[in-house]
Homo-oligomer: A and B are copies of this chain.
């Protein structure tokens, strides 16, 4: 009986964190796709690391993350293209210390103005999510690998 109650408690805790992660990613990626560079960077820890396949070396810290998005967004705006980042098939592994190891499939959809959308990139994203003092999730570390690269 105790086991069953504990199981329900554990599974409820998992449901809470699973919904929270999905909601976090929805907002996080909407900020990115909207070009809200600073707000997006603030969803990383101050020392957050983003190891992106397009960058020669990891981007570290909110100032660098902000600058990277500002530049990318300006290029897309000049090109007249809207990108959307979707983190799907989310696998959440809660850790003993309260952090979350999260793996997801990332689709990047690109839509040119007056044109058809295309699946631009298919990637796997591996995040380490932690909580700030108020309990909010933040990305401490992100590593993205592209399916088109060996």
Contacts and interface: CB of A to CB of B under 8 A. Distances in A.
Contacts of A120: 116-117
A72 interface: no
Interface string A89-109: 111100000000001110101
Interface residues of A, number: 48
A56 interface: no
29 contacts: A7-B135, A11-B20, A12-B12, A15-B15, A15-B16, A15-B18, A18-B19, A19-B19, A22-B90, A23-B91, A26-B90, A26-B91, A27-B91, A30-B91, A30-B103, A84-B105, A84-B147, A86-B105, A87-B89, A88-B88, A109-B122, A109-B147, A111-B122, A112-B148, A113-B148, A114-B148, A117-B121, A117-B122, A117-B148
